[in-house]
Structure formats: structure tokens, C-alpha cells
Structure 1
């Protein structure tokens, strides 16, 4: 049985019991991955390691921005 078939069974069961229908498969996948990434960063800080990610990259960009050279005139 795949995820969609299980979802259809869960919808049927929810309708019979009068409870709210479950979300579609994959609805919260991105949020779960973000939470996992944040948790791993949190564990890194607790272990005394550097937490890497968007904040660190943004700070690095502010400290040492890349120099863009204007195009040469012909």
C-alpha cells in the first residue's frame, strides 16, 4: 500500500468517525526537514562546535562582501 492509498483509508475512517481529515501526504515534509536541520545545529552548539547555516553565511557576507567589478568600457 502506498501513501496515497493509506491517505484514502484514513479519510474514509475520519469521515465515518466525524473527525477532521488528515493532511495530504508530503504536506509537512519541508517543515520537518527544516526542524531537523535546526535541531542538528542546536546539538552542534551544545557540543561546542560551530553551527553552520544561513545566519552564519549572512554574517560572513556582511563582514567580507564579495567585490563585483564593473564591466569594462569598450
Structure 2
């Protein structure tokens, strides 16, 4: 059963029971991603790591440590 089919079935059941309709699939994706990112930053601060810029810092470190071609 696809997500759309499940949503339509849940909407039908809610209408039959007089309950509010469930939210449509994908309506809260942006909110979930933002909350996940905030939680990751919070966990980084608790662990004593920088909350942001970790990827850029790692790439800069990797770039500076790679062997240079002799020219």
C-alpha cells in the first residue's frame, strides 16, 4: 500500500468516525528536518564539539594535510 493510499484510507476512516482528518503526507517534512538539525546541534554542544561548521572545518583540515605535488 502506498503512502497516498494509506492517507486516503485514514481520511475515510476519520470521516466515518467524525474525527479530524490526518495531515497530508509531506506537510511537515521541513519542520521535521529543522528539528532534527537543532537536535544534532544540541547534542554536539553537550558533547563539547562545535555546533556548526564541522564539515567545512574537516574539509579544510583534509585539504591542508594532503600531499602536495612537487613542481
User: Which TM-score band (shorter chain)?
Assistant: 0.7 to 0.9
Unaligned runs of 5+ in 2: 54-71
Separation (CA, whole Å) in 1 of partners of 2:36 and 2:2: 24
Structure 1 unaligned regions, length at least 5: 54-74
* Pairs aligned (count): 53
Q: How do 1:49-68 residues align onto structure 2 when only pairs under 5 Å count?
A: 49-52=49-52
> 1:48: which partner in 2?
48
Distance of 1:37 and 1:2 partners within structure 2: 28
For the residues of structure 1 that align with 2:2 and 2:26, how far apart are their CA atoms?
13
Which residue pairs with 2:37 in the alignment?
A: 37
1:8-19 equivalences under 5 Å are 8-19=8-19
Poorly superposed stretches of 4+, deviation over 2 Å:
none
Q: TM-score, normalised by structure 1?
A: 0.69
Q: Give the superposed CA RMSD.
A: 0.9
| Secondary structure at the counterpart of residue 11 of structure 1 | helix
- Give the CA deviation at 1:21: 0.2
